[in-house]
A = this chain, B = another copy of it.
């Protein structure tokens, strides 16, 4: 009964080649540039042959996204490798790496986090939680060392993540940094991130104001 696996190695290689081609195309020109025919041409197959390895384009894209998150997590991991555990420096490095990844892999980044991809990836299914785990561990260690205040780690992770993610997506989407003309010079994403550091650390509360919120508002 044993089914005829003609050559499992070659099959795996072909699938890997397809995946690689798809990744390259997506990294170069985004999802628009990732076409079945384009991938097929790069691999030397007919377009329909891909359907033997991937159910449809969506499945292929999903795999490409997974690959991308591995690469993304690699950026993060490398960024903090040499930095002392528990340091706030490590948190900064994560943010810097996040930004660097987005800027150095613009199209790829858009594919990964693009709200247009019909890939509503649950982050839980991604390798390393799509970077969440690494982020979380770094936050927990920073809390334990006293580098940042103690609070719900998941909340803080999401807070910091949204902070850096919002910065890059906003810049990628509508370049609002042009509005920051205080000194005339153009502010890059890393520049802005550095200037936000103080807000993240000390907040927007005026110096001397009580630490507990006393704003008149009671609702919401």
Near B by CB (< 8 A), chain A positions 125-179 give 126, 129-130, 132, 136, 146-152, 154-159, 161-167, 169-170, 172-179
In the complex, the answer to whether A201 meets B202 with C-beta atoms within 8 Å is: no
Q: List 6 A-B contacts (CB under 8 A).
A: A89-B216, A148-B205, A151-B204, A152-B182, A194-B220, A198-B213
A residues apposed to B, CB below 8 Å: 30-32, 87-89, 92-93, 96, 109-110, 113-117, 120-124, 126, 129-130, 132, 136, 146-152, 154-159, 161-167, 169-170, 172-182, 192, 194-207, 209, 211, 213, 215-217, 220
What is the CB-to-nearest-CB distance from A127 to chain B, in angstroms, rounded to a whole number?
A: 13
What is the CB-to-nearest-CB distance from A130 to chain B, in angstroms, rounded to a whole number?
A: 6
Chain B residues lying within 8 Å of A179, measured Cβ to Cβ, are: 123-124, 129, 132, 136, 154, 157-158
Which of A152, A173, A194 has the most CB atoms of chain B within a 10 A radius of its CB? A173
Assuming A114-B115, A159-B196, what are 15 further A-B pairs, CB within 8 angstroms?
A32-B116, A87-B215, A89-B215, A89-B220, A96-B220, A113-B173, A114-B116, A116-B116, A120-B173, A123-B179, A126-B174, A154-B181, A166-B166, A198-B213, A207-B211
A93–B220 Cα gap in the complex (Å)? 9
In the complex, the answer to whether B176 meets A215 with C-beta atoms within 8 Å is: no
In the complex, the answer to whether B217 meets A92 with C-beta atoms within 8 Å is: yes
Chain B residues lying within 8 Å of A126, measured Cβ to Cβ, are: 174
**Interface pairs A-B: 8 shortest CB-CB:** A166-B166, A203-B203, A162-B166, A116-B116, A89-B217, A148-B204, A162-B167, A154-B180
Chain B residues lying within 8 Å of A154, measured Cβ to Cβ, are: 179-182
Chain B residues lying within 8 Å of A147, measured Cβ to Cβ, are: 206, 215
* Cβ-closest chain B residue relative to A177: B158
A123–B93 Cα gap in the complex (Å)? 29
